[in-house]
Structure 1
């Protein structure tokens, strides 16, 4: 087993273990993680607690950090980033120092807007994950689900050796020869030697709606990878070269139909906002902000009871054991602008992270948080998140909703 310390928020804030520092509670937790690295040698951090309601202002059981990166999309000027808690150090003159994600000292964290830009290290120094539980019911359910998963060694079971992949034509431009979702799915399957690919594609007619996904996942699979479009409530994609038609893959309301008890996959989801874990039914009460703003919450799927990625995990006796996805807009590349014969959707932005996760696992990294963290490190060292705003956002918003110390496939007895 893994030696574990459970630290309550009040214990952190009152300095039970280490002196408490920080401008707000999120920073106090980050300083605590720094001290725990240096005093206890910790490797994994699991943040436990999601949103606790709030209408005028969000309330959180465990604090979060929002970035202030404005990609000029008009959709959002910031998003949740748990990477903040993992990127503890930056280096000055070769020496590690605390990285507060506020290098210009103006009190605006992870800022990138015009010429105002914080210099961030971005490299994870611990492996981070979050159980976004909103109540004790969810917490107890997840404790039981994780323990059961790890005690039920499944790596040699036929169900675990299946990988369900779901995709279509994410950018259905008639001049673009690639079906981006399916291209990512295929590359992921190439990495996963020894796994049987269960392909649900719009191009072959094997993806026609949620029932196709429900039936496939209910047969059991070790991994579940969807790549297309999303919001906190739903995931969908397009048939080839048909921008007007949407084919739903799986929505929060569909998940109750799953029947994969004790056969829980690790889910990787490519799609905007599928892991935006701040959503709430309480947003329906915000009509006081005006009809147009109120409708925006509905249109964006932000009135979901909980986000798609977490809802899939917190289901009892079904669903996934963990979900990795994006808390904000998910950017993907199109075409083959390099002319190297490789679709750019697999080489850049979310397509890089989604597919390299499977490469990392295939190379022998079986602890979930390490697979997640090492994939981030490969992205940071291969692409350019320090100078490209979209690369930076892609790294910051990729979240693990699950136990970072989880042994994928469980432990052999």
Structure 2
């Protein structure tokens, strides 16, 4: 029997989250026919530029998407390319061959990368050479490319992502030789298979304990009235009908079935800790990734519930325990779980501890979606930032938080921009001024700086002994009522929703120092605040990261290598503003914006899971990229219509 088999090959060059090329192929073939297909593509490169930096040189390349950013390793150009194929595809082989390779002798070493910088107090930033790399006669990187295959969602379709990271310039440090390719020839062999079709019985599933279910019924009715087919399922029902090693795994298996049997797109988890006790209404999964920061070796990751599938010669369930030792999302000196990380559903959580919090959030969501559309206050965006890192000695003098805020604003055309800055903004940043600005109401808010579970803060320009904070006390003073923004916060632990005043008894004064001995975290108080705050908050459950460097300074002629501050090219400084870029491209459902931003991050910064812990510290940038997506949690309704319904 013949059937129309539509193969969609989307070959896209990921650069700041944009699609450069799209290819479509339609053909007839037998349902059972095994048909091998090939993709061939050539990438041409210009000659690399060698820029004198005094004691070092930097290498520029016109075509580079980014640069290798591992602390202590040579900073070399990178080109990343992602191919998107249908969910049923089996990838047979991937190859990337350098052609017309040439060599250049340089008279100085290549500048080592600064790498990821944790957003914590008193972190000593330094440029240093990794002796193992810089004393070697072997080429770095030791290969011309890496590739990663993942399973996720693209434009509403379930797809396979094949991302290739190309290293067109390699460096032999001991001999000071550069080797570069004039072009790379990519070849991909794949096999077409029948595309799996999911049902469409429901759009949204809400998971909550029976205790909260009655309070959620008005939200179910509201969603149905707006065409969002919604199903409320209790945790008790799930635990009674699903097997798993713990309650979190039972819920993940249920979500997998809900996607495959009902075709759900969105999952709303309603439930946090049981009051101040260390028990959960809706469980969490901790990632056990050790980023060598000496700050934490585990943190909450709700992405676990969204990342249902991985690629293993086809699509398979991803339990986040690939080594089978019962420790989930593990990555340390001795053990590692290889993860997919791409969200297959869009997930958010209301970490309510009490029924009255559920009622507040149900009322806020209903009121927002019914009344926000067309309101003047919605077309206003407030950004708050200051100086994050002491970068003068490294050749730049950026006020990083303000640079990141300006970058986010650049995507928000048609919005009134309100800059609350430590220097040169529309309003000087003080807690009182920020409280007043936010209480006027706005559609979006972005904080970029430092944080802990109980506070957000930043520095005046080049005054890193002084902190200006916006803490829980300031949130409680907000009075924007129903003029509620979607809020993104850049900083450490602002959305760490496992805090409790009982941590003082359990962990002592250290819990107070960390900001964890508080009845609720910054992000959740902002979201559930009954007289204003936000409609949703997106931020980190663990230690956040940024970086410094680059840009138009005298030591870098013509702003080479690319003239873009590194603080907006990597890590949280790229991901957070990209959320607003995704919105500006026409996406207006909150969970979808969150999910696309994470997917784009993974495609732009693919994780090399073959990296091994070879030095005193690990391949930190790979782990920090992994942590950056794992810890970025949405405290809010993933099906929320941003800006409300007409």
Partner of 2:390: 172
The equivalences for 1:315-394 within 5 A come to 315-336=529-550, 339-387=561-609, 388-394=622-628
CA offset digits 1:187-240 (Å, max 9, x no partner) = 111001111110011123733421111110111110010000000011110111
- The structure where strand makes up a greater share of residues is 2
Residue 158 of structure 1, CA deviation: 2.0
Give me the whole-angstrom Cα distance separating, in 1, the residues matched to 2:568 and 2:392: 19
Residue 385 of structure 1, CA deviation: 3.3
Q: Secondary structure at the match of 1:67?
A: strand
CA offset digits 1:96-140 (Å, max 9, x no partner) = 111000000011100000241111000000000000100100001
CA offset digits 1:146-188 (Å, max 9, x no partner) = 000000033x322111100000110033333211110110011
CA offset digits 1:42-86 (Å, max 9, x no partner) = 00000110011466xx20110000010001111100100000000
Contact 2:457 2:467 in 1 (8 A): yes
Residue 91 of structure 1, CA deviation: 1.3
Q: Secondary structure at the match of 1:5?
A: strand
Residue 386 of structure 1, CA deviation: 4.2
Matched, 1:118 2:337: yes
- The structure where helix makes up a greater share of residues is 1
Partner of 1:307: 521
Contact 1:65 1:80 in 2 (8 A): yes
Matched, 1:31 2:253: yes
Give me the whole-angstrom Cα distance separating, in 2, the residues matched to 1:89 and 1:228: 34
Give me the whole-angstrom Cα distance separating, in 2, the residues matched to 1:177 and 1:343: 10
Partner of 2:237: 11
Give me the whole-angstrom Cα distance separating, in 2, the residues matched to 1:228 and 1:109: 30
Alignment size in residue pairs: 397
Give me the whole-angstrom Cα distance separating, in 1, the residues matched to 2:429 and 2:589: 34
Contact 2:386 2:459 in 1 (8 A): yes
Matched, 1:85 2:299: no
The equivalences for 1:87-236 within 5 A come to 87-93=307-313, 95-154=314-373, 156-175=374-393, 176-204=396-424, 206-236=427-457
Structure 1 segments, 4+ long, off by >2 Å, are: 172-176, 204-208, 384-387
1:246 to 467, 474, 477: 467
Measured at CA, do residues 277 and 358 of structure 1 come closer, stay the same or move farther in structure 2, by a change above 3 Å? same
Contact 1:275 1:327 in 2 (8 A): yes
> Aligned-residue CA RMSD in angstroms?
1.3
29-38 vs 109-118, which deviates more?
Answer: 109-118
Partner of 1:274: 494
Contact 2:454 2:521 in 1 (8 A): yes
Give me the whole-angstrom Cα distance separating, in 2, the residues matched to 1:210 and 1:386: 42
Give me the whole-angstrom Cα distance separating, in 1, the residues matched to 2:495 and 2:329: 19
Q: Secondary structure at the match of 1:409?
A: coil
Give me the whole-angstrom Cα distance separating, in 1, the residues matched to 2:358 and 2:608: 37
TM-score of the superposition, structure 2-length normalised? 0.60
Contact 2:273 2:279 in 1 (8 A): yes
Q: Secondary structure at the match of 2:299?
A: coil
Residue 347 of structure 1, CA deviation: 1.0
Give me the whole-angstrom Cα distance separating, in 2, the residues matched to 1:240 and 1:384: 34
Give me the whole-angstrom Cα distance separating, in 2, the residues matched to 1:179 and 1:320: 26
Contact 1:386 1:392 in 2 (8 A): no
Measured at CA, do residues 153 and 134 of structure 1 come closer, stay the same or move farther in structure 2, by a change above 3 Å? same
Give me the whole-angstrom Cα distance separating, in 2, the residues matched to 1:153 and 1:106: 48
Give me the whole-angstrom Cα distance separating, in 2, the residues matched to 1:264 and 1:172: 34
Measured at CA, do residues 106 and 54 of structure 1 come closer, stay the same or move farther in structure 2, by a change above 3 Å? farther
Q: Say which structure, 1 or 2, has more relative contact order (CA 8 Å, 6+ apart).
A: 1
| Uncovered stretches (5+) of structure 2, i.e. residues with no partner | 1-225, 552-559, 610-621
Give me the whole-angstrom Cα distance separating, in 1, the residues matched to 2:415 and 2:379: 5
Partner of 1:290: none
